[in-house]
Amino acid sequence: MAAAAYRPGDDVPVNNATHHKDSLSNELLIEPSAVNWKFAGWGTFHREREAAKDLASEVLL
């Protein structure tokens, strides 16, 4: 997927996030870090490796 090009005066999404619809027409908000995928109305989903790291840190507390 090519990066979006913005001209001066265009409204630039927050954090240069990219709006995208998947094959099931679910609206996605993709942040440049490529770690978080935000599904409209579903909250934030992390890549499995990041989620496992978060879970491990909670267990160790």
Which residues touch 17 (CB under 8 Å, ≥6 apart)?
A: 29, 30, 31, 32, 38
pLDDT tens by residue, 11-36: 555 556 666 676 777 776 666 655 55
The pLDDT, as a whole number, for residue 12 is 55
What is the model's pLDDT at position 57? 58
Whole-number Å distance between alpha carbons of 59 and 30:
29
